[in-house]
Amino acid sequence: MAKIKPSKGAPYARILGVGGYRPIRVVPNEVILETIDSSDEWIRSRSGIETRHWAGPDETVAAMSIEAAGKAIADAGIAAEQIGAVVVSTVSHFSQTPAVATEIADKLGTDKAAAFDISAGCAGFGYGLTLAKGMVVEGSAEYVLVIGVERLSDLTDLEDRATAFLFGDGAGAVVVGPSEEPAIGPTVWGSEGDKAGTIKQTVPWDRFAVGDVSQLPLDSAGNVKFPAITQEGQAVFRWAVFEMAKVAQQALEAAGISSDDLDVFIPHQANVRIIDSMVKTLKLPEHVTVARDIRTTGNTSAASIPLAMERLLATGEAKSGDTALVIGFGAGLVYAATVVTLP
């Protein structure tokens, strides 16, 4: 029986560079209040959101990804031709096939890099990071580009008081490459499919395509609504606060550190109250910098963690070499947490 030659990869993997792109248009809460009965004070107190970015016609999922990826590649100090794989996490690329990752890989100028999309909601960046680490260590790619990107404004029901104010658009990217020492810890991830209905699309695409009005939601003018994201806010809040704090703690333990060893905490930017509750439950020391990018960016799902990471490094609130706990959680319900060294 023939023996298969073992793969030869790097001993470890690390994040080498990060980049982000936020659409030009900034949307304050006042715009949201044009279609829902609420107030700026209520939105801020419930979510912490003051503004969000919405993409224009030319700011497509691919275009935003290319902008963010270009910055990440430059930050990593490598050439696009060295990228061996492109992993894109998104739920808002509306073409079922081909994967938008293939277009991105081509336009960036990679040398026929492997390219594919994943759908893991707000945990998508963590899923992509885990796959990238595996590829680098296994040896199937020396450098992997991981992108989280969303145009959630396309999937927002502006008449839904529970979600109209939540979502924003943008793209965040990182380059993962070889390392001589551990810099991406073990991932604690999973799913709770019995709770999948708490965050979901209002109607599937096939039902929308049929056009049977009796089976579709209507807006206040009686027009058929485009499919949108909806959620059971209180159920999601309780799950995120209580269960995800446990997952975050497991990620710390898997990495062999405690909260005292952390420099930075970068949770999915879902809601400031969730973030603050997790900080309290984890008993994070005051010296730990906590990302609250949601205030001006909104909830960008798969893009939220790399965008928050990029901003912390750009503003100097975090620095290269810092130890950070990252955790994403959302539709599915899925989650992924790990400890990383910042680029």
Active-site residue set: 122, 268, 299
DSSP bridge partners of 145: 86, 175
Contact 251, 290 (CB under 8 A): no
Whole-angstrom distance between the N-terminal and C-terminal Cα of the chain?
Answer: 44
Distant-in-sequence, close-in-space partners of 317: CB < 8 Å, separation ≥ 6: 289, 311
* Cα of 286 vs its chain's centroid, Å: 25
Which among 271, 252, 77, 87 is positioned nearest to 167, based on CA atoms? 271
CA atoms within 13 Å, Cβ hemisphere of 16: 25
Residues 256 and 259: their CA atoms lie apart, in Å, by 10
DSSP bridge partners of 339: 325
Phi, psi (rounded to 5 degrees) for 65: -65, -45
Long-range contacts of 156-159 (CB under 8 A, 24+ apart): 156/228, 156/229, 157/202, 157/225, 157/228, 157/229, 157/230, 158/32, 158/35, 158/36, 159/35, 159/36, 159/219, 159/220
Residues 150 and 155: their CA atoms lie apart, in Å, by 10
Residues 267 and 285: their CA atoms lie apart, in Å, by 16
DSSP secondary structure letters along 163-196: TTTTB-EEEEEEEEEEESS--B---EEEE-GGGG
145 by Cβ neighbours in 10 Å (0-12 / 13-18 / 19+) ranks as buried
